[in-house]
Amino acid sequence: MHQDRFYISYTPTTPEIWLNGKEAHHILHVKRAKLGSKIMLFDGKGFEYIANITEILDDKLKVSIEQSKTVDREAHIDITIAFSVPKGKLVNFLIQKCAELGVKTLIPLHCDRSVVDIRSKSDEKTEKWNKVVIEASKQCKRNYITKIENVMLFDGLIKTICNYDLSLIACTESHAKTLKSVLNEHLSAKKIICIIGSEGGFTHRELEMAEKAGCVPINVGPSTLRIETAAIVISSMLLYAYSG
């Protein structure tokens, strides 16, 4: 039987807990749950809980946890997507779909040609995008939450490239390799980052810096993709290549 899933931002240490705020409102006023209703909770750290509503008080409710378990629905590859922020609501679409796919980490990136500059309001944006991630995890039954880093400068990101088994930079340069050929050469990679630039692409300076640091220039076909399209396509291809 299908059970609605709701997020709690902590791991319960007692069998009875109170829920309030947005999730309590959703449970009581959107789903119209009653005393005795069973709901599914997850904590974003791998645990999910079957709980029974035992008390309702104004806009909060008490639940009794009847069962807790770890359920691993995660991909067996650690993917980080660093991306120049696209305009408007397209960034929400990018974040939602990457979270649904199982991308582990998203890094908003400020590049030389970035059109959208969120450096002065990074915390505000991160808080908003975390809500998108939580809703996506609720819907797709992930028990983990995609981590969204604060905005990084391109130069700063490149200094972290050594932390990955395989580092990719998406571009349309003539010397770029196909993603398929690169993955065939790195069959044992477990932790991968792909850097996606603005609609205008990376500058020569950025590409040179990235390649010197060990990034492999890749393309995914003859078309020039939008930022959000590239993020979803590349994530999907990586998941497929390392599945099973």
pLDDT of res. 179: 96
Which burial class, exposed, middle or buried, applies to 239 when counting CB atoms under 10 A from its CB (0-12, 13-18, 19+)? middle
pTM of the entire predicted model: 0.92
pLDDT of res. 221: 86
CA atoms lying within 13 Å on the CB side of residue 121? 8
* Rounded (5°) CA angle 166-171-175: 85
Residue 2 has pLDDT above 60, yes or no: no
pLDDT of res. 1: 42
Asked if residue 227 lies in contact with residue 84, where contact means CB atoms within 8 angstroms, the answer is: yes
Average pLDDT, the chain: 94
Q: How far apart are CA 93 and CA 141, in angstroms?
A: 18
pLDDT digit string, tens, across residues 212-244: 999 999 999 888 899 999 999 999 999 999 986
* Cα-Cα-Cα-Cα dihedral sign, residues 180, 212, 175, 98: positive
Percent of the chain with pLDDT over 90: 85
Q: For 6, phi and psi rounded to 5 degrees?
A: -135, 145
Alpha helix segments (H runs only) across the chain: 21-25, 90-101, 122-140, 154-158, 179-184, 204-213, 227-241
pLDDT of res. 175: 94
Asked if residue 79 lies in contact with residue 147, where contact means CB atoms within 8 angstroms, the answer is: no
Residue 201 has pLDDT above 50, yes or no: yes
* Mean pLDDT, rounded, for 34-61: 94
Band (pLDDT 50/70/90 cuts) for residue 190 is very high
pLDDT digit string, tens, across residues 161-177: 999 999 999 999 999 99
